[in-house]
Amino acid sequence: MTDTIADYLTRLRNAIQAKHRVVEVPASNLKKEITKILFEKGYILNYKFVEDGPQGTIKIALKYNPATKVNAIKKLIRISKPGMRKYTGYKDMPRVINGLGIAILSTSKGVMTNKEAADQKIGGEVLCYVY
């Protein structure tokens, strides 16, 4: 597998489409950081890192509205791909749905959202959009 982040996002999209409560994905440090951001911003209910074997897994509890059964995540879009990397400076930071969504960036100071990167005046690789 060449694009593990795309696989991670696809597993989340498929679990949301099938209305699963929990999804398991293979772990990596980058995926752990993306999961932490999704939890902090309220897109997922909870997460747990399970250390089994050399790699480990991440168990993610998806967040649904109890009344309407609508998921908190509407779309997950992979932006930077292995064949076409997308980088941005802090002056040209992307705005997702006019500020209602978030862009997750990989910067020199770690993985963070577009708003945090703009506040710290650093750019980086745009991994995905979430809204």
Q: Which residues contact 119 (CB under 8 A, 6 or more apart)?
A: none
Q: What is the pLDDT, as a whole number, of residue 95?
A: 94
Percent of the chain with pLDDT over 70: 100
β-strand pairing of 76-78 with 124-130:
antiparallel
Q: What is the pLDDT, as a whole number, of residue 1?
A: 77
Domains (range + CATH), the chain: 4-62 (3.30.1370.30), 76-130 (3.30.1490.10)
Percent of the chain with pLDDT over 90: 94
Scanning the chain, the segments in alpha helix (DSSP H) are 4-17, 29-40, 114-120
Inter-residue contact 9 to 44 (CB < 8 Å): no
pTM of this prediction? 0.94
pLDDT tens per residue across span 17-69:
999 999 999 999 999 999 999 999 999 999 999 998 889 999 999 999 999 98
Inter-residue contact 106 to 5 (CB < 8 Å): no
